[in-house]
């Protein structure tokens, strides 16, 4: 583990969201000696049902609250003697950032500032780690070829990615200016259980089984590199423990697919699992007006994290998607 304290208490923010609620149970299981305090505002994106499995664990505490709340975050550092932070909390949906960017600036930039500033004042040692969770969207958009690496230029194109880029820069500056022990991981699109209904794969599954149109932006050709959320959790645990202070790590699943292909793959799985009197679920796919400023392609070259820390994605896209569809079928079917 990072640092030398015998008992670690990690403040995990945004732990009731998609990735956080996959991460915390994994992290507690993997690291039985640590305590976790989960600070989450329970916005529309947070759901405590996703954490029921660890509710009763004595080394887990949930606190409802805002990462922007200086008094509360300060109290938590004092009360729980926080040794490290893993910052997941964010407004995360690009579409929402286009319609109303204000909350993205507050949570993603001001909230990260509040956390790291309090950590700087509270921690007396360089062993205390601040791990900032970020996205590959900060690098902008690729053409048909090429990959993002840690050396790629920041060229955020949406209010969401601009707010995440700003928070990445803040975190970086706290290492360079104050010598804080920070790491940042920039990950590609995650998929898996517990993701909010608003996101692409849950929308495809829900729309399909409810007999509604399956909406696909533009011509469906926008490409993302899909990473199974459990693989991301393993990557975060690895970087949190072994990442070098001040460094960034990009994570990807080596699974590039465009949105239309994703929709067809989900429909293929559903066709096998759920008979549909109207024929294939693919018949429900419909193109809708494109998202403003929709980035064309994201793809990750994750060789640094593999070569330096030994992490690479292990779930195949086929098996990850099957697990995901099964989870949503349980959720959506009466
Ligand atoms: N989902 C992805 O594909 C993906 C990919 C790369 C990086 N990321 C990053 O990973 C992190 C987690 O993403 P996610 O998909 O789990 O997001 P999510 O939207 O599912 O969850 C965000 C969580 O943060 C909480 N939250 C929001 N504002 C808060 C505030 N002001 N104070 C405290 N809690 C607050 C919400 O209640 C929610 O539980 C984000 O920082 C995101 O930028 C996500």
CATH code of 32's domain: 3.40.50.720
> Is 220 among the domain residues?
no
Give residue 82's domain range: 9-191+226-254+296-315
> Is 286 among the domain residues?
no
The minimum-distance atom of ligand 1 relative to the CA of 43 is: 37
Picking from 278, 232, 284, 288, the residue whose alpha carbon sits closest to that of residue 255 is 232
> Is 217 among the domain residues?
no
Burial of 330: CB neighbours in 10 Å, binned 0-12, 13-18, 19+: exposed
> Is 200 among the domain residues?
no
Q: Is 298 in the active site?
A: no
Nearest C-alpha to atom 36 of ligand 1 is from which residue?
Answer: 46
Does the pLDDT of residue 244 top 80, yes or no?
Answer: yes
Tokens representing 140 are 């902008």
> Is 134 among the domain residues?
yes
Does the pLDDT of residue 1 top 80, yes or no?
Answer: no
Residue 65 CA to ligand 1 centre (angstroms):
14
Q: In the chain, how many domains are there?
A: 1
Q: Which of 155-159, 267-271, 276-280, 308-312 has the lowest mean pLDDT?
A: 276-280
Q: How confident is the model at residue 277 (pLDDT cuts 50, 70, 90)?
A: confident
CA geometry: angle 175, 306, 50, nearest 5 deg: 75
> Is 212 among the domain residues?
no
Question: From CA 165, how far away is CA 171, in angstroms rounded?
Answer: 10
Nearest C-alpha to atom 9 of ligand 1 is from which residue?
Answer: 134
Residue 105 CA to ligand 1 centre (angstroms):
14
Evaluate whether 192 touches 328 at the Cβ level (below 8 Å).
no
Q: How confident is the model at residue 334 (pLDDT cuts 50, 70, 90)?
A: low
Q: How confident is the model at residue 201 (pLDDT cuts 50, 70, 90)?
A: very high
pLDDT in tens, 9-67: 999 999 999 999 999 999 999 999 999 999 999 999 999 999 999 999 999 999 999 99
pLDDT in tens, 290-305: 999 899 999 999 999 9
Q: Which of 13, 18, 252, 324 to mutate to test the pocket of ligand 1 (most atoms within 8 A of CB)?
A: 18
> Is 332 among the domain residues?
no
Beta strands in the chain (DSSP E): 9-13, 35-40, 60-64, 84-87, 129-135, 181-187, 189-191, 214-217, 223-228, 248-251, 256-258, 285-288
Residue 235: the pLDDT is 98
Does the pLDDT of residue 75 top 70, yes or no?
Answer: yes
Q: Is 289 in the active site?
A: no
> Is 244 among the domain residues?
yes
Q: Is 160 in the active site?
A: yes
């Amino acid at each position: 583990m990072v640092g030398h304290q015998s008992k670690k208490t990690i403040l995990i923010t945004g732990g009731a969201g998609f990735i956080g609620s996959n991460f915390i149970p994994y992290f507690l299981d993997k690291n039985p000696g640590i305590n976790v305090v989960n600070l989450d505002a329970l916005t529309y994106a947070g759901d405590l049902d996703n954490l029921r499995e660890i509710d009763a664990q004595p080394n887990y505490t949930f606190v409802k609250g805002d990462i922007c709340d200086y008094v509360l975050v300060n109290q938590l550092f004092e009360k729980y003697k926080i040794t490290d932070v893993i910052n997941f909390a964010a407004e995360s949906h690009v579409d929402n950032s286009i319609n109303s960017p204000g909350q993205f600036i507050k949570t993603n930039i001001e909230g990260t500032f509040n956390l790291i500033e309090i950590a700087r004042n509270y921690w007396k040692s360089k062993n205390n780690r601040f791990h900032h969770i970020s996205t590959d969207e900060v690098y902008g958009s690729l053409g048909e070829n090429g990959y993002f690496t840690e050396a790629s230029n920041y060229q955020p194109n949406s209010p969401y990615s601009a707010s995440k880029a700003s928070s990445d820069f803040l975190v970086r500056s706290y290492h360079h200016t104050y010598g804080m022990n920070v790491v940042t991981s920039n990950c590609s699109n995650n998929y898996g259980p517990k993701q909010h209904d608003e996101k692409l794969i849950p929308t495809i599954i829900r729309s399909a089984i409810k007999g509604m149109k399956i909406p696909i932006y533009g011509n469906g050709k926008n490409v993302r590199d899909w990473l199974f959320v459990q693989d991301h959790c393993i990557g975060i645990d690895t970087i949190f423990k072994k990442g070098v202070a001040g460094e960034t790590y990009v994570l990807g699943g080596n699974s590039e697919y465009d949105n239309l292909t994703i929709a067809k793959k989900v429909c293929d799985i559903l066709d096998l699992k759920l008979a549909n009197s109207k024929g294939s679920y693919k018949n429900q796919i419909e193109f809708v007006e494109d998202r403003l400023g929709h980035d064309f392609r994201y793809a990750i070259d994750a060789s640094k994290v593999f070569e330096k820390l030994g992490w690479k994605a292990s779930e195949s896209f086929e098996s990850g998607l099957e697990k995901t569809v099964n989870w949503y079928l349980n959720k959506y079917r009466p």
